[in-house]
A and B are shown apart, each in its own frame.
Chain A
């Protein structure tokens, strides 16, 4: 099970909610949620947010779930605005392609820039 799956299961147990109850509320099948929890299907866009809102998670708890989700994912999307410049597109593409080659120091620097931008 992935960190995200564990977190979701934990939330369900806390609220005594069955997979089937949760599936009904989210209008999906129990197997769909189960497969995401087990890490057999990638976490769909917006899914952690739907879970957070279903369980009424706010602030830190919702942040935590989002980071559990990030720790469970192996592919990420970078969404650009419709009018994004060529420069932005090329940068996004370079990050996606070259990520594995970045040194720990470079990642650290990027991390600082991203966190600083908040």
Chain B
């Protein structure tokens, strides 16, 4: 979706709605709740068969400007920058999260109405917030995160960055979550 500039508002969704939806999507795609996701394999080998009209494209970095990846608001198309693709291939946690975030846009926002908002948009109606929630919940289901004993364990089990693992730990109210850590 569009990045900076005019804020975009979409139909509001609560974190709980998104957690539930992400878990359903995982299960529909045949993933066990405890399994980590390899986002590239999912995008390249699974989604083209599972989602009608789905396409992905790897483009030169400069085509996307500062974005690592983008999702069309009208077609089921995810564009991945060459550098993000290379990072995802090496299973870098950050790239995994970026691709899961784009999948969130694709499933939640693609083809749906949105509005240009003047001024601040509430988190629940912000597509970027929603896609981030989706990415976390999709990569690391809450019930499984609660079984982990450290941020490092969450990061390792679900192939996500420590920053993203810490956010998941916070969401799940785990005692070892660090409050100040930045993503």
Chain A contact residues, CB within 8 Å of chain B: 1, 9, 12-13, 16, 18-20, 29-31, 33-35, 37-38, 40
Contacts and interface: CB of A to CB of B under 8 A. Distances in A.
A111 to B, nearest CB: 33
13 contacts: A18-B45, A19-B44, A19-B58, A20-B85, A20-B89, A29-B82, A30-B86, A31-B58, A31-B82, A31-B85, A35-B58, A38-B55, A40-B57
A30 B90 CA distance: 14
Contacts of B60: 31
B48 A34 contact: no
Given A18-B89, A20-B89, A31 B59 contact: yes
Nearest to B82: A31
B49 interface: yes
A74 B179 CA distance: 57
Contacts of B82: 29-31
Contact of A35 (B59, B85, B89): B59
Contacts of A13: 44-45, 48-49
Contacts, number: 44
B34 interface: no
Interface residues of B, number: 16
B108 interface: no
Contacts of B56: 34
Interface in B31-65: 40-41, 44-45, 48-49, 55-60
Nearest to A38: B57
Contacts of A12: 44-45
A20 B85 CA distance: 8
Interface string B62-96: 00000000000000000000100110010000000
A33 B59 CA distance: 10
Contacts of A33: 58
A13 B40 CA distance: 12
B86 A20 contact: yes
Contacts of B86: 20, 30
B65 to A, nearest CB: 15
B40 A18 contact: yes
B42 to A, nearest CB: 11
Nearest to B81: A31
A20 B60 CA distance: 14
A37 B59 CA distance: 12
6 closest residue pairs by CB, A with B: A34-B58, A31-B58, A20-B89, A30-B58, A31-B82, A34-B57
